[in-house]
Structure 1
Amino acid sequence: MGASRITITLDEGLLKRLDHLVQVVPYSSRSRAIQEAVEDKLRKANKDDFERELVKLDPQFEQEMADEGLGEDVLEWPEY
């Protein structure tokens, strides 16, 4: 996937911390450090969304749905 150029504004203190991180880790650039931070944040947000949806499930109902039609009289999966 191609990259797009964006402009962001950072607090001076945050920028100093970013520059220090780029030197210590080392990242190839500020852009690379910011890109990885955004990727991590999005990954965590997606995980949080998944966990929020997961708690809405009723385990007993889900098990009943999974077991439906799996009686001894079913010898093979039905064709779709």
Structure 2
Amino acid sequence: MAASKIAITIDDKILKQIDILVKSKYFKNRSKAIQEAVTEKLVRLGKTRLAQECAKLDPKLEQSIAEEGFSVEMEEWPEY
């Protein structure tokens, strides 16, 4: 995976917390800690976006679309 070097500005309190985690060997270094935090945030935002889009759906319409043609299929299925 290609990586790019960037410069960031970060609050001193946050940096101290990161340094504690690095010193305790929770993270290999500051870069890994920040990279993991950003990745986690992006994943959460992605899930939030999915939830927002799903909330726009009309449950009754989606149910009717899902069941469309289902009664015909039921007649074709063998009985158990």
Which range, TM-score by smaller chain?
0.7 to 0.9
CA distance in 2, matches of 1:10, 1:55: 35
Structure 2: state its 5+ residue gaps: none
Structure 2 counterpart of 1:46: 46
Structure 2 counterpart of 1:9: 9
Post-superposition Cα deviations, 1:23-77, rounded to whole Å, max 9, x if no partner, equal 235211100000100011001111111111111111110011112233426999x
Structure 1: state its 5+ residue gaps: none
CA distance in 1, matches of 2:46, 2:34: 18
| TM-score of the two chains, using structure 1 as the length reference | 0.79
Structure 2 counterpart of 1:27: 27
Secondary structure of residue in 2 paired with 1:72:
helix
Q: Assess, with a 3 A threshold, how the Cα gap between structure 1 residues 54 and 72 changes in structure 2: closer, same or farther.
A: same
Q: Assess, with a 3 A threshold, how the Cα gap between structure 1 residues 11 and 2 changes in structure 2: closer, same or farther.
A: same
| TM-score of the two chains, using structure 2 as the length reference | 0.79
- Which protein has the bigger helix share? 2
Aligned length: 76
AA matched with 2:21:
L
AA matched with 2:72:
E
Post-superposition Cα deviations, 1:11-30, rounded to whole Å, max 9, x if no partner, equal 22221111012123521110
